[in-house]
Amino acid sequence: MMLADYGYHAGIEHAVRSVAEAISRPVVCGRVVAEHEKIYTLVTASGMADARVSGRFRRDLGARAEYPVVGDWIAVRLPEGTAAPDGTAKAGGTAAPDGEPSRRPAAPAEADLAMPGPEGAGASRGGMGTIEAVLPRSGVIIRRRPGPRARPQAVAANVDAALLVFAIDGGRGYSPGAVERYVALCLEGGVDYLLLLNKSDCCSCPDEKAREASALAGARAIPVSATTGLGVERIREQLEACKTYVLLGPSGVGKSTTLNLLCGEEVAETADVRHRDRRGRHATKKRRMLRLPEGALVIDTPGLRELQPWPVQGRLSEVFPDVAELAEECRFRDCAHGEEPACAVRAAVERGALDPRRLESYLELRRELDEAVEAERPSHRR
């Protein structure tokens, strides 16, 4: 199995070597392609394997967001006797890459689909591997974990771009506020994004809705119909082999159906929305990575019913460039755009130059991000 087909590069090699030297044990490189409670399904140079985190990993853990998630590159000790012809790092040794990406992409196979069985992937027949470290991440989708206590929860890691799926059939699958939240989620994690407006066959003006969403998000928006196949080829044109994408969006917007179309076969269960209110229902229960026929990697995720971005890169102003530009004219640099005198943002709302909904959305997201920053201070941790 060629790990380069899953995005392996030289930087990962050096990170694996560092882990091997730190723990004085041989480890191999793997990538998490599925989660099943506390068992992780990995793709390694020698094939698929199941693994758990080590006791050392749990003791050294700083935050729950640092547990492995789908997309993570990890250093793992495989059971004795497991063949590891490539990608192995011994203490004091070097890590060998496993070659160049395959030039001829194959149709999705069982290993490519990374579909977990009762205990995970069921692919590791020689025993359970032991995850020693999560390697440095890039492009991480992190939200606030649901619940009263503010804590981060990583959803997917090492993501090149997010496919943000919304439904424009008149139900609850689309709103300007939801688009802004998902864009903030991506920007905070350093992830590029593309909007997919599904169920466009049920919308009387899909192109107009696409222009509206594109202007709102500052990115391309593609009208899609998972029923008719409209827009699927346009999506494929945006995907690159060996790059990692994550499907994100509310429940019931058609993420699973879109994934089936991209794969060319039914690899994900689907569920109809409730007819009385068009509210979505969870079809996807677990996160997993699939390799498409063209070689692109897609992480399938359940719908996010609670979505509060977690502050990572401080890029909220990029979600609201209009508000940020007006804020430069406020009398006070730390203006909260509330009751302060000479607030240029409030003045723009009053004269009709700024949509009040836009300001309300900005203030709500800023409040949530500020609360998360405050929760991360050492005095607030327990």
pLDDT of 82-108, one tens digit each?
Answer: 655 444 555 544 344 444 444 434 434
DSSP annotation string for 258-322: HHHHHHTS--S---PPPTTT--------S-EEEE-TTS-EEEE----SS--B--SS--HHHH-HH
- Angle at alpha carbon of residue 161, lines to 170 and 295, rounded to 5°: 105
269 to 197, 211, 283: CA distances (angstroms): 20, 31, 6
Q: Is the separation of the CB atoms in 44 and 78 below 8 Å?
A: yes
Q: Is the separation of the CB atoms in 61 and 77 below 8 Å?
A: no
Percentage of the chain modeled with pLDDT above 70: 80
Model confidence pLDDT, tens digit, residues 227-259: 888 999 999 999 999 999 999 998 888 888 888
pLDDT at residue 264 in the model: 82
Residue 332, pLDDT > 50, answer yes
User: Which domains does the chain carry?
Assistant: 3-134 (2.40.50.140), 141-300 (3.40.50.300), 320-380 (1.10.40.50)
Q: Calculate Rg over the CA atoms of the chain.
A: 22
d(CA 145, CA 151): 5
Model confidence pLDDT, tens digit, residues 154-213: 999 999 999 999 999 887 789 999 999 999 999 999 999 999 999 999 999 999 999 999
CA atoms within 13 A on the CB side of 300: 28
pLDDT at residue 331 in the model: 95
Residue 23, pLDDT > 70, answer yes
d(CA 371, CA 368): 5
Question: Where is average pLDDT lowest: 24-38, 109-123, 125-139, 227-241?
Answer: 109-123
pLDDT at residue 88 in the model: 53
Q: Alpha helices of 147-253 — where are they, by DSSP H?
A: 176-188, 206-217, 232-238
d(CA 356, CA 349): 6
* Count of other CB atoms within 10 angstroms of residue 367: 11
d(CA 118, CA 122): 7
How many residues appear in the chain?
382
Indicate the pTM of the whole model. 0.85
pLDDT at residue 373 in the model: 84
Q: How is residue 123 written in tokens?
A: 């692919």
What mean pLDDT is reported for the chain?
Answer: 83
pLDDT at residue 152 in the model: 87
Task: Quickly state the pLDDT bin for 116 (edges 50, 70, 90).
Answer: very low
Q: How is residue 113 written in tokens?
A: 């689909």
At 152 the three-state DSSP class reads strand
Nearest residue to 143 (alpha-carbon basis) of 157, 153, 133? 153
Residue 148, pLDDT > 90, answer no
Residue 60, pLDDT > 90, answer no
The secondary structure element, H or E, covering residue 367 is helix 356-375
Which residue did the predictor score with more confidence, 299 or 60?
A: 299
Q: Is the separation of the CB atoms in 74 and 137 below 8 Å?
A: no
